[in-house]
């Protein structure tokens, strides 16, 4: 009976069962996020084509495409993960789900590195961000299910590290409006992580999904503001 009325959120140390209602909300909320990600990608590409200097247009397109694609990937994988039954493929999608978060963090700061910082410094930030995303993804693939708290902490540190780098540059290229969007988005993601860690309470994971959506929307406007 218990198996018929609940889905299991795959985690070796997580005993609580998600109810069907929770999983339905989780799937729908991030399904909406996937749809919004496609719209965001189109808007950013169109904005780049109309606003970017001709010589820099390829960089703009690559930067915003990485951001929009990573958004879509993260939301689509999350949607499929929560929609699957708690056996077989769900374990694999759990790993993909967390890896996609690292990729999104790197992709979120790619437009700032390549468009606003630019030059050698911008490419260094870009390279380090994606290098860290790759290393963290490999580590999670091997140890993630046994290091849940550490993996969440790594998301927060990884994300805020690059916010600090961007804001502490000698000649800060970001406007106050852009910084407000960046900080607000980072705060939404961070608060969401707190709810993610409270998974023994009902609906906290669903609340986490809402904060993730809010963070993504705020970072979309941050990227749009620099084009």
Helix (H, G, I), strand (E, B) or coil at 147: coil
Residue 6 within any structural domain of the chain? no
Predicted TM-score (pTM) of the model is 0.88
Residue 9 within any structural domain of the chain? no
Helices (DSSP H) in 84-147: which residue ranges?
Answer: 89-111, 119-143
CATH at 75 = 1.20.1070.10
Residue 38: CB atoms within 10 A of its CB come to 15
Q: Which residues share a beta bridge with 18?
A: 7
Confidence of residue 86 (pLDDT cuts 50, 70, 90): low
Helix (H, G, I), strand (E, B) or coil at 108: helix
Question: Residue 198 half-sphere exposure, CB side, CA atoms within 13 Å?
Answer: 14
Residue 7 within any structural domain of the chain? no
Per-residue pLDDT at 101: 95
Residue 47 within any structural domain of the chain? yes
Name the pairing type of β-strands 6-8 and 17-19.
antiparallel
Per-residue pLDDT at 145: 66
The secondary element (H helix, E strand) that includes residue 156 is helix 148-168
Per-residue pLDDT at 177: 92
The secondary element (H helix, E strand) that includes residue 7 is strand 6-8
Residue 218 within any structural domain of the chain? yes
Residue pLDDT, tens place only, 121-175: 899 999 999 999 999 999 998 886 677 778 889 999 999 988 888 877 767 678 8
Residue pLDDT, tens place only, 1-28: 444 444 444 444 454 678 889 999 999 9
Residue 98 within any structural domain of the chain? yes
Report the domain count for the chain.
1
Residue 78 within any structural domain of the chain? yes
- Residue 136: alpha-carbon gap to chain centroid: 14
Domain around 169? 17-226
Per-residue pLDDT at 89: 78
Mean pLDDT of 68-96: 87
Residue 72 within any structural domain of the chain? yes
Residue pLDDT, tens place only, 15-66: 467 888 999 999 999 999 999 999 999 999 999 999 999 999 999 999 999 9
The secondary element (H helix, E strand) that includes residue 22 is helix 20-51
């Amino acid at each position: 009976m218990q198996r018929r009325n609940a889905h299991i959120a795959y985690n070796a140390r997580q005993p609580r069962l998600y109810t069907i209602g929770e999983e339905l909300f989780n799937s729908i909320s991030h399904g909406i996020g996937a749809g919004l990600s496609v719209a965001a990608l189109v808007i950013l590409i169109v904005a780049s084509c109309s606003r970017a200097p001709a010589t820099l247009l390829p960089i703009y397109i690559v930067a915003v495409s990485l951001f929009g694609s990573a958004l879509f990937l993260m939301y689509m994988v999350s949607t499929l993960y929560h929609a699957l039954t708690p056996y077989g493929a769900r374990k694999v999608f759990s790993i993909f789900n967390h890896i996609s978060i690292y990729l999104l963090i790197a992709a979120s700061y790619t437009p700032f590195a390549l468009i606003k910082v630019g030059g050698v410094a911008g490419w260094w930030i870009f390279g380090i961000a994606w290098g860290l995303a790759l290393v963290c993804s490999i580590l999670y693939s091997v140890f993630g299910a046994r290091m849940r708290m550490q993996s969440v902490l790594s998301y927060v540190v990884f994300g805020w590290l690059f916010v600090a780098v961007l804001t502490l540059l000698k000649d800060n290229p970001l406007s106050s409006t852009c910084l407000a969007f960046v900080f607000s988005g980072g705060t939404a993601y961070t608060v969401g992580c707190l709810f993610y860690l409270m998974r023994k309470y009902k609906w906290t994971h669903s609340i986490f999904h809402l904060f993730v959506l809010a963070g993504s929307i705020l970072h979309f406007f941050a990227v749009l503001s620099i084009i």
